[in-house]
Copies of this chain bind each other. A is one copy, B any other.
Amino acid sequence: MRMNGTGATKDRILDTAESLFMEHGFEATTLRALTSAAGVNLAAVNYHFGSKEELFEAVLTRRLDPMNQARVELLGRFEADASPRPLDSERILAALLIPALGLARDRERGGKDFLRLLGRAYADPAPFIRHFLSEQYRPMIVRFKAAFARALPQLPPKELSWRLHFIMGALSYTLAGTDALKLIAELAPNESADDEVLLRRLAPFLLAGLTAPLPPADTVARRREASPRALATVAARSAR
C-alpha cells in the first residue's frame, strides 16, 4: 500500500487523460504529452493501467457507469411515482437527460470535459471504443426502450428504435459541441448558463421528434397525410 500526498498518480492520470482525450481525440493524444501534463513519469500509465487503450476505457467507465446507473434509477423512481399509471414519455426523456445534466453541472472540474469526450467517443471508428461503448450502454438502452414502448404504444417498435437513435445522435453531438456551435450560428456571448440551458432547449426538441406523426407507410407514399408526405413528393419532383 501507499499513501501519496494529495492526489494519487492514478487519479492525476485519469483527470489529465479525460481532458486531453477530449481535446485531441484518442489517437492524437500521446502518452508523453499526457504524462508530462499530469506531472507523472511516462511509464506510470502502463504501470497503473496496462496500456493506452485500457486507460481510455478506465476514463470512460469512471463516469459513464455511474451516469447510466443514475439514469436507470431515476427512471425507476419516476415509474414508481406514476404507478399504477404508465410513465409519460416526457419524464422518461427527463430521466435520460437529467443525469447528463447533473454530470455537466455538479463536478466543477472535468464533468463537462467528460461529456464532450463521450460525444466524440460515440463517433470514433476505433473498434475497441465502439465495442466498449456498446457494451456499456446496452442495458440502459434496453431499459429505456421498454419504457418508451409502454408510453407510446401506437409507435411501432422499429420506428421507436430509429427515434431513439436520432435522440442519442442529437444528444451526443450536442454534448460534444463547443466548436460546432460556431458552425451553426453566432450564439451571442452568453455561453455562461450553457449546459443547463442547452438541455432545456434540447428536451422539447427531442420530445416533439419522439412523438411526431408516423412517416408514410410504404416505399411509395400512398396515403395523403399532410406533414410527412411532402418530402417524398418533393424528392420525386426534384429528380432531374
Contact = CB atoms under 8 A, between A and B. Distances in A.
B201 A162 contact: yes
Interface residues of A, number: 87
A166 B174 contact: yes
B219 A215 contact: no
Interface string A157-171: 111011111111111
23 contacts: A25-B124, A27-B28, A78-B234, A90-B227, A91-B230, A93-B231, A94-B234, A94-B235, A120-B123, A141-B184, A161-B184, A165-B174, A166-B173, A166-B174, A168-B183, A169-B174, A200-B215, A200-B232, A204-B213, A204-B228, A208-B209, A208-B211, A208-B213
Given A165-B180, A166-B173, 12 more contacts: A28-B126, A98-B235, A123-B176, A141-B184, A157-B185, A161-B187, A162-B201, A165-B174, A166-B170, A203-B215, A205-B209, A207-B228
